[in-house]
Structures are given as structure tokens and as C-alpha cells.
Amino acid sequence: MVECDFPECTTFGSVIRFALELEKGAAGVYDELSKEPKAASAAEVFRTLSSVHKKRGELLEFTRREKLNEMILEPISELKRENYLIDTKTPMGLDAKAAARFASKIEETSARFYADSARIAKNLMAEAARTMERLGKENMANKAKLEAL
Amino acid sequence: MALLSEVKKDYGRLQNFVNGEWIDSTSSKVLDIENPSTGGIIGKVPMSTADETKAAIEAAHEAWWAWRETPPITRARVMFKLKELMEQNFENVARIMVQEQGKTIDEARGETRRTIENVEVAAGIPSLMMGYNLEDGAAEGIDEDAVISPLGVFGAICPFNFPAMIPFWFWPYAVATGNCYIVKPSSQVPLTMNYLTKLIEQAGFPPGVLNVVNGSHEVSDTMMEHPKVKGISFVGSSPVAKYIYKHSAENGKRVQAQGGAKNSLVVMPDANLDRTVSNMLASYYGCAGQRCLAGSNLIAVGNIADTLLKKWIEGTKKIKMGYGLDESVNMGPVISAKAKKKALDYIDGAEKQGAKVIVDGRKAVVPGYEKGHFIGPTVLDQVTPDMTIAKEEVFAPVVSYIRMESMDEAIEFIHKSPFGNAASVYTQSGKTARDFRYRCQCGNIGINVGIVAAMAYFPFAGYKDSFFGDLHGQGQDAIKFFTDRKVVITRWF
């Protein structure tokens, strides 16, 4: 199980931190699923998606460093932490389809988080909003990939 | 959530950086560096002597000519290297700033970004420093050129509120234009500059080009009085800015001395109130109100006053206070026990003069940080223009809520202030906005923006008692401040 520490989303930094935890959680789940013997037929897809989520973490760190404008650092109150928590306790013994379904939920929750963050970020941190939008769309594409397994 | 890790728990006793070497000050006077969130001591800073300051000035002067002869493009390359090092160490710079200054990690990251931006702009020096010429400018066959040249040694005396960015408003431009420099960081927050100086050292500036001398007024006075120092940059309170301006000018220096502020944000009846409140929260409470561009007076114009106040209180109550290394925190403490007492005295005084404390941060405590210098966001209603709280700089998260009938009344009030740093208007009307920006006598005007912080490529300073000098910090003004124009008239027989 991947340990994640999801913060309350009250600042730009905590929104990015939340996103980083999502990416860490997703990457960890895919790593574990890729080692599941009963889901061996999907192992390559899971390995690829794990690597995708690790790279997204790097993109988020870049966004935090480069896209923050202290002139418009407004408090954030519309993103409720509990709406976007993901389950990172990967069940044992899942076959490929069940593993894909488990991972798909993470992608779906993440997509929702990024879509909502992007909407809020448009007013507060427009440059970061583009990254959020992109990540949310990627989540949906990942979900489609998983559903096709 | 878990706190981000501190870079170090104890930074020890700081050294000066002179002529490319780290040197212990011989001074027996040493101040503690306090973490304002925890109240813990995280380092010690020596109060360097006049002789140590003179040695730094001599080293800078000695280094000057060789650095002046270094081509601008080569000087720019060192700036690029420094930028790269700052990017690599971005998070450490931000976290040290949180430890010593108390601002939140987001604010510290924002400041670090702005600090780097000044290096990026200064790296454009080959273009920024170009002179101009005119063929046959003097007469037929006689050409005239204006050459832009550096002057020698400059120095900065820096405040506590922006430990990284403010020294970088000045020295990168001075050094990029071919001068040498002495930075005296604030003795309350010298750690960030100390860390950045290690990066400056690694970037490859020759010894003596950039020097850092820790200390207090003995260092400042020596810089202001030394004949080899050509100019002084300062940021701090207005009385000190005025002294620095006068004393430096008496000694033949160029001066840019930025002082205090009392910024008013004016909300018109047609403003988008939800967006306005969200934006203004950052202005009044960001950096715990310790920005020279922070909002202080909130002027509600016309019939929106009660609705706006209700929304303002709702927004204020959402501000989470704490140690800035918790990423979910919106506001940190003020810098010291003394600063806290001063702010509390202002609030008490306002109450005695008839203001109503409707959100009271005087007794705010952050669990686990009882020794921190926290003041909760405070809102004073029924403030009138004649009250002390409406006129003097508080430098804390304290909002004076003032009701007025028209923008004319608001502008008249703004103009009565001895300060002229910043003012903002919130409106959906282009005509109103244009009128405000045209008439308002302040150095920085916001239209639906509450923190009018000029980017590195624009000049920054206020008007009236908020600034003593003529050329501002940053941008083209900085290039002019650190250089002179030499006219060459050429005729060939």
C-alpha cells in the first residue's frame, strides 16, 4: 500500500501537494498491479502508467516552481479534500480486468480533481490551470485505456 | 498534514562574505536570529564593525576595474549560471525564508520566483546597457555618442520583509552593469541572503564583486559616509528612508530610499464583490500584512458597504494561520514580539478612538506555536479618516474599514496621506478605473489588483514619503541608477 498524506486544499501550494500525492498514489498502485501474477497480461500497461504518473509529478513540481504568481495568491476554499481521496490499498489477487477497474477509479477521481482545480485555478493561477486541464484530460485517456483491457 | 522539513535547525553564527572569502566578524556584538513562528533561535548574526565594512568597500573597489573591463556578455553568463543554481536550490531558498521570516511557503516560493526574475532581467544586460549615437550629431563630420558606463561601488541596506527579493532589486543590476556591490541584509533575516551568497559564490563572480556584510547602523553609516561608495539603495520605514537619503546625499551619493506605506483599496458599488474579496484577502493578510504594498485601509464606496463587510468577514474567517512550512496555511506570524506589540497598540488605540473591532485577532493563538508572534486577521469597522489607524502604517494583518460616499472622497483621503506607495480600485467600469489611475498620486496603481508589485522589468517605488530619490528599483531605472552617461564627440582630421 502506498502511504499518501492528502492536505486540505486551502492554498496554491496545498492544491499542488494534493496533486503530487495523487500522482504518488497512482504510480504506487500501478507498480503493485504490475507485479500481480493474475494480472500479468496487463503488466506492461500498468508499468507504463506508473511511469506516466511519476513524470506528471515532475511536471507538477515544475508548475509549483514556475507558475506561482505571488501577486494573486488568493485563499482557496472550494476544493473539498474528501471529494478527491483515492484508495491506494491495492487488493491482492486481482485479474487484469478487476485490476483495471480498480485503477480506473483512481483515474476518474484524479480527472475530477484536476477539472475542478483548473476551474478554480483559472481565476487564481491561470498558467497552472493549463497544466491541471492537461492532466485531467490525460486521466480520462488513461481510464479509456484501462477500460479497453 | 505533515510540515515540510526545515533546511537546518540551527544555522550557527553567520560569517561575512568579503573579497570571495567567508570571514568571521571580530565583533562581540551578536544578535539572535529568531524563527517568528516557533520563537526558537535558529542562528546568530554578528554586528560587524566599521573597519570590517571599510575592508569590504576596499575589496569591492579593488575588484571594480577588472570587472568593469569584463565584457557585458561575459558578465551576463555569470548571471545565467546564478539563475541555474537558484532554480536547483529553489525549495531550500523558500524554506529558509519561511524559517526566518515567518511567511507561508507559497509566499516564500513566490518571492523566490521574483528574486530569480531579477537575475533573469539583469542577464539581458548587453541589450539593456546599450548607449546611443548620432552621426553628424555635433556638426557636419562630427559624430556624437552617449556611452553608458558603470560607476564603481554601490551598497544596499535591506529590510526584513523580503529577505531575498529586495537585495535582488538592486545588486544584480549593479553588478551586471559592471559595478561591485556590498549587501547589508536585515539583521532579523540574514539567513536567506547568506544561503543565496553561497550560490553567488558558486556562480563564479570574481572575488570582491559581490560582498555581504552583516550588521546594523554601524555598517550602514560606514557605507553612506565612505568616499568610494557611489550610491546607496535602501528599503524600510519612511523616517529611516529620509535619514538615509539625507545622510547619503550629504556625502555625495546617489540614493534610492524606499519608505513606508498606508495603502487604500477602494471598492466601488459596481465591483464584482466575490472576486474582489478573494483578491483583497491576499493583499491585507498576505505576508501577515508586512508588505509595503499590502492593503491597510479598505474603503467601501456607496451602498455596498454592509454587503461587502459581510463577505469580507466570511472571507477573513477562512484564513488559516500557522507555521508557513505547513502548505495549507494562509498566513504566518509577524516578524517579532516588538512588531506584534506595536500592532496590538494600534488596534487598542483605534478602539479607544471609536473604531469597532469586529474580527479580533489580538488574542489569537496557534496550537503548538504558542511562542510565535501571531496576530489573527483583524477587522476594524467604523474607522474614520481622522483616526490614527487610518493614517499610520501598522504593518500587520489589520484592516481599517472606512465608508465613503464617492470615489472623489476616497481619492481626496488618499491624497491627504503623507505616503504614496500604492492604491487600488475595484470596479467593472473602465471609465472609473481610468479616472482613478489618472488622478491617484501613488507610485503603484491597481485596477482590480490588490498587490501592485511591479515585475522585475518594471520600475518599483512609491510617491511622496514612500520614496526618497528619483530613479526607482528594478527595470530600466535600475540600469540608469547604477550607470552614468558619458558623451563622446568625435572628429577625424
The CATH number for A73's domain is: 1.20.1260.10
Is B282 within 8 Å of A74 when comparing Cβ atoms? yes
pLDDT value at A2 more than 90: no
* B180 assigned to some structural domain: yes
pLDDT value at A123 more than 80: no
* B461 assigned to some structural domain: no
CB-side neighbour CA atoms (13 Å) of B142: 7
pLDDT value at A71 more than 70: no
Band of pLDDT at residue B184, cut at 50, 70 and 90: very high
pLDDT value at A127 more than 90: no
Residue A67 is predicted with a pLDDT of 82
User: What single string gives the DSSP state of each residue in B50-91?
Assistant: HHHHHHHHHHHHHHHHHHHHS-HHHHHHHHHHHHHHHHHTHH
The CATH number for B303's domain is: 3.40.309.10
pLDDT tens for B266-318 read 999 999 999 999 999 999 999 999 999 999 999 999 999 999 999 999 999 99
Q: What span, in angstroms and rounded, lies between the C-alpha atoms of A59 and A107?
A: 17
Check B180, B292, B440, B442 and give the catalytic one.
Answer: B292
Indicate if B158 belongs to the active site.
no
Per-residue pLDDT averaged across B419-426, rounded?
98
Please give the mean pLDDT across all residues of chain A.
Answer: 93
* A142 assigned to some structural domain: yes
Residue A77 is predicted with a pLDDT of 84
Q: Are residues B226 and B328 in the same domain?
A: no
pLDDT value at B126 more than 70: yes
Is B286 within 8 Å of A123 when comparing Cβ atoms? no
Query: By the CB < 8 Å criterion, does A69 face chain B?
Result: yes
* Number of alpha helices (DSSP H) and beta strands (DSSP E) in chain A: 4, 0
Range of the domain at B295: 263-447
Instruction: Measure CB to CB from residue B318 to each of A13, A64, A75 and give the nearest one.
Output: A75
pLDDT tens for B5-59 read 999 999 999 999 999 999 999 999 999 999 999 999 999 999 999 999 999 999 9
Among B363, B399, B374, B378, which Cα is nearest to B324's? Answer: B374
pLDDT tens for B54-113 read 999 999 999 999 999 999 999 999 999 999 999 999 999 999 999 999 999 999 999 999
Residue A120 is predicted with a pLDDT of 87
Q: Are residues B405 and B328 in the same domain?
A: yes
Instruction: Measure CB to CB from residue B107 to each of A6, A70, A75 and give the nearest one.
Output: A70
Q: What span, in angstroms and rounded, lies between the C-alpha atoms of A12 and A120?
A: 10
Per-residue pLDDT averaged across B123-127, rounded?
98
Q: Number of folded domains in chain A?
A: 1
Quick one: angle between helices B407-416 and B430-439, nearest 10?
A: 20
Q: Are residues B235 and B150 in the same domain?
A: yes
Q: Are residues B429 and B473 in the same domain?
A: no
At A129 the three-state DSSP class reads helix
Strand partners, B150: B483
Please give the mean pLDDT across all residues of chain B.
Answer: 97
pLDDT value at B117 more than 70: yes
Is A123 within 8 Å of B278 when comparing Cβ atoms? yes
Range of the domain at A47: 12-147
Q: Are residues B280 and B395 in the same domain?
A: yes
Per-residue pLDDT averaged across B394-401, rounded?
98
Q: Are residues B158 and B270 in the same domain?
A: no
Is A75 within 8 Å of B330 when comparing Cβ atoms? yes
Portion 84-143 of A in contact with B at CB < 8 A = 123-124
* B455 assigned to some structural domain: no
B91: which chain A residues are within 8 Å (Cβ-Cβ)? 65
pLDDT value at B436 more than 70: yes
Is B110 within 8 Å of A77 when comparing Cβ atoms? no
Q: Are residues B104 and B224 in the same domain?
A: yes
* B322 assigned to some structural domain: yes
Is A71 within 8 Å of B449 when comparing Cβ atoms? yes
A73: which chain B residues are within 8 Å (Cβ-Cβ)? 106-107, 110, 282, 286
Band of pLDDT at residue B1, cut at 50, 70 and 90: low
The CATH number for B133's domain is: 3.40.605.10
pTM, whole model, 2 decimals? 0.95
Residue A75 is predicted with a pLDDT of 86
pLDDT tens for B200-245 read 999 999 999 999 999 999 999 999 999 999 999 999 999 999 999 9
Residue B17 is placed in which grid cell?
Answer: 562574505
Residue A122 is predicted with a pLDDT of 82
pLDDT tens for B139-148 read 999 999 999 9
Q: Are residues B226 and B315 in the same domain?
A: no
Q: How far is CA B465 from the centre of its chain?
A: 16
* A66 assigned to some structural domain: yes
pLDDT tens for B325-372 read 999 999 999 999 999 999 999 999 999 999 999 999 999 999 999 999
Q: Are residues B55 and B190 in the same domain?
A: yes
Chain B: residue whose CA lies nearest to A11: B328
- B367: part of which helix (H) or strand (E)? none
Strand partners, B423: B264, B445
Residue B449 is predicted with a pLDDT of 95
Among B401, B400, B403, B404, which Cα is nearest to B392's? Answer: B400
Q: Number of folded domains in chain B?
A: 2
Q: Are residues B435 and B357 in the same domain?
A: yes
